[in-house]
Amino acid sequence: MWAEKPQLVEPAILISLLLLVLAIALSFWFAARLMKPIRELMPTVDSEGHLEFRSTKVAVKTPEELKAVTIAIDQIAEKQRRDEAARRKLERVRSEFLANVSHELRTPIFAVQGFIETLLDGAVDDPAVNRDFLRRARGQAERLNNLLNDLIDISRIESGEMRMSFRMFDIHPFLRDFTNEMRPMALAKTMDLEFKSKVQPKDEVSVYADKERLKQVLINLVDNAIKYSESGSLIRIELLEGEPTTRELTVRVVDQGIGIAPEHLPRLFERFYRVDKGRARSSPGGTGLGLAIVKHITEAHHGTISVRSELGHGSTFQFTLRKEPF
Ligand code: ADP
């Protein structure tokens, strides 16, 4: 009987050993399964010292609790990627802007310097050119002043510093008065400016806007219409009902000028974008910022702006205004 005992002990030890190995293997497997996603979740620090979260694609196979954590971390990683892309874009835009500003400032400064130096070199005593050079220098100083004003405006709008003073007011007398104020500018170039309303009733049609800023938009558009039209042409400010489902009105500035080729239209409202660089720069006051400011102001009024144009046949700039507070 006693002789059979060792035969029973041996399989028991063997089974225990097997179970032990299995337990160790299982715990390794479980630990590895648990650690893999945790390791992948661990943020790293990149060469610039930024904490970087990686995407956790393995998360789907992990236990429920970890899945929730991985989803949260995925969201942080995604947000971090978006923030980083936005930061890089902002940096690029800022340095492009700075390069444009320096370039734009340099042109009139060099021109003024050139005129003064020529005058000092003797032209001041030449009655045939001295007044002309002084007039040109004054024109460039004016350009510089316009550029600085536009730059201040655009940076105040973009940084949110420009305070708008919205109120309800009657748009018809506003546009009529504006047209009368601007007509002499058109007449001086042997053009005409008129106002036409297609909105009923004519007696009281209110809009919600900032009068000063709205005037700035219209001055820019009418000024461009005059600048890019030939003498004898007519410029019209029109007021129309907006789309039927919206509580909006549409204002149009229509000219019969040189028009704009279709390839330029998508970029027209960008800062410093000019269609014909030589022509626009030589025209007094052109900064290439006017339409960018117009777009910003329209958007601050919760409106939209667009342009239709045909080369040689004129352009129509139109924007929307709200009939009630937003
Ligand atoms: P600028 O100060 O040079 O006029 P804007 O931003 O006001 O700058 O206009 C950008 C460009 O769009 C202008 O350089 C011009 O080429 C074109 N443009 C604007 N308005 C008109 C228009 N009514 N007719 C033809 N071209 C226009």
Ligand 1 atom index nearest CA of 281: 3
More confident residue, 189 or 49: 189
Give residues (CB < 6 A) around ligand 1.
Answer: 220, 224-225, 228, 255, 257-258, 260, 268, 273-276, 280, 286-291, 315
CA of 15 to the centre of ligand 1 (A): 90
pLDDT in tens, 147-163: 999 999 998 888 888 88
Closest CA to 294 of 211, 216, 178: 216
Is the pTM higher than 0.95? no
Residue 58: pLDDT over 70 = no
**89-93, 116-120, 133-137: lowest mean pLDDT where?**
89-93
By most ligand atoms within 8 Å of CB, the mutation choice from 265, 289, 291, 310 for ligand 1 is 291
Residue type, 184: P
Residue 234: pLDDT over 90 = yes
CA distance 73 to 71: 5
pLDDT at residue 66, as a whole number: 75
pLDDT at residue 132, as a whole number: 95
CA of 288 to the centre of ligand 1 (A): 7
Closest CA to 249 of 197, 307, 316: 197
CA of 298 to the centre of ligand 1 (A): 17
pLDDT at residue 6, as a whole number: 58
CA distance 223 to 229: 10
**15-19, 211-215, 233-237: lowest mean pLDDT where?**
15-19
Ligand 1 atom index nearest CA of 257: 24
CA of 274 to the centre of ligand 1 (A): 6
CA distance 20 to 31: 16
Q: Which two three-digit tokens encode residue 132?
A: 């002309």
CA of 152 to the centre of ligand 1 (A): 19
Closest CA to 226 of 285, 310, 304: 285
Q: What's the distance, Cα to Cα, between the start and end of the chain in Å?
A: 100
pLDDT in tens, 91-104: 998 888 889 899 88
Closest CA to 34 of 12, 66, 10: 66
pLDDT at residue 27, as a whole number: 87
Closest CA to 194 of 256, 238, 227: 238
User: Stretch 174-180: mean pLDDT, rounded?
Assistant: 98
Spatial contact of 319 and 304, defined as CB atoms under 8 Å apart: yes
